[in-house]
């Protein structure tokens, strides 16, 4: 099942995480340091629509870094799971697709709840 030891898998995970993060930094983060009303990331639209997040309550720069880390985590995790646990190419595609959907829902669900609680705290603090 595992071709390598656990340490080599963890090292590969860290290397893949760092490489994907650096690549996404140069492709996405450097360009999106300011909120452009016409080019809002799809992740932010998802959180606004599903969790009723107020954009004024969050720091856009922190959000860009956060969603980049989440996307990097999702990509790296799916890569490691698919490469080391699934042998058949068709199954790799199916498992990767299902994991992509599940991890996206879970990770952005946690982020949406975090921003909801953060927004609620700001609203209650401003009322006092």
Note the pLDDT of residue 27: 86
> Which residues lie below 8 Å from residue 111, measured CB to CB, with a gap of 6+?
47, 66, 67, 70
Greater confidence (110 vs 119) lies with: 110
Would you say residue 8 has pLDDT above 70? yes
**What SS3 class is residue 31?**
coil
Give the model confidence (pLDDT) of 35-67 as tens digits. Answer: 666 677 888 889 989 998 888 888 888 888 999
Query: What per-residue confidence (pLDDT) applies to 34?
Result: 65
Domain boundaries, the chain: 6-127
pLDDT at 28 over 50: yes
CB contact at 8 A, 55 and 44: yes
pTM strictly above 0.85 = no
Distance CA 110, CA 103 (A): 10
Tell me what pLDDT residue 128 has.
47
């Amino acid at each position: 099942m595992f071709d390598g030891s656990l340490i080599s898998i963890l090292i590969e995970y860290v290397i893949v995480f760092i490489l994907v993060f650096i690549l996404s930094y140069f492709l996405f983060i450097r360009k999106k340091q300011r909120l452009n009303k016409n080019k809002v990331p799809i992740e932010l639209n998802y959180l606004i629509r599903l969790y009723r997040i107020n954009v004024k309550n969050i720091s856009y720069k922190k959000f860009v870094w956060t969603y980049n880390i989440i996307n990097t985590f999702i990509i790296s995790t799916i890569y490691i799971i698919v490469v080391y646990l699934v042998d058949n190419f068709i199954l790799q595609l199916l498992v990767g697709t299902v994991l992509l959907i599940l991890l996206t829902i879970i990770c952005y669900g946690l982020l949406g709840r975090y921003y909801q609680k953060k927004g609620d705290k700001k609203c209650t603090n401003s009322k006092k």
